[in-house]
Amino acid sequence: MKVTYLGHSGFCIETSNAFCIFDFIRGELPEELYTSSKAVYVFVSHFHEDHYDPSVFALTEHVSNVRFIISKDTAKKAKRKKLDISAYDVCVVGPDERLEFDEHTVETYKSTDEGVAYLLSCADGVIYHAGDLNWWDWPGEDPEWNLQMEKDYKAEIAKLAGRSIDIAMLPLDPRQEESYYKGMDFFLDNVNVCDVYPMHFWDSPEVIERYVREYGAETSAKIHSDHLER
């Protein structure tokens, strides 16, 4: 599978029979996408502006075989903005759902913020995009709130126990200061993952090197930063 980083939490992953786009708000899609006969699947994890831009639907002006898989909160926002998503091939999903199409299986998990995380299984392997499902331990936040966040995150990741994931796109957010590593650390300790692509690091990609240096020594071979070189 070929991974193209699109900025922030956006990725395009080309498989043998599809292009799978996640949380695309900016960046350049692969040129091959526009000339290929492969299906194009566009995933939107939630409605926040750093994960969803309504202009993503304009992709249908350039590519004919596009299907959109969007969270319920994204669909609600589109409706509030008077965007008629019924004009497109759209699947609206909530947490703990499973759908199958064109030899692909999509499973959803409840975010600890808004929307969902996606687990996509296809002939080439298994892809996980966390969206904003993360252990959001914030400095200065009510300790009870942070404790509940920890419980909620661990409960969702427990659902992935025993699964093997080929590509995982996980938040590594420096705004969490000394707690920046907790979500990724717990995920890697509890889920079998081959390749990890950090995301959601805003303008601080150096946080990836920090994680590998401070906490990721045993798993550093899994952590990718080459996607930042585009």
pLDDT (tens digit per residue) in 51-104: 999 999 999 999 989 999 999 999 999 999 899 999 999 999 999 999 998 889
**CB neighbour list of residue 108: distance below 8 Å, 6 or more residues apart:** 93, 94, 95, 96, 97, 98, 116, 117, 118, 119
CA distance 73 to 177: 28
How many CB atoms within 10 Å of residue 182?
A: 18
Predicted confidence band at 180 (pLDDT cuts at 50, 70, 90)? Answer: very high
How many CB atoms within 10 Å of residue 120?
A: 23
Residue 132 is given by DSSP the state T
> CA neighbours within 13 Å on the CB side: how many for 160?
29
28: β partners: none
Task: Quote the tokens at residue 110.
Answer: 């409840």
Backbone torsions φ then ψ of 183, nearest 5 degrees: -65, -50
The crossing angle, in degrees rounded to 10, of helices 143-158 and 182-190 is: 30
pLDDT (tens digit per residue) in 193-209: 999 999 999 999 999 99
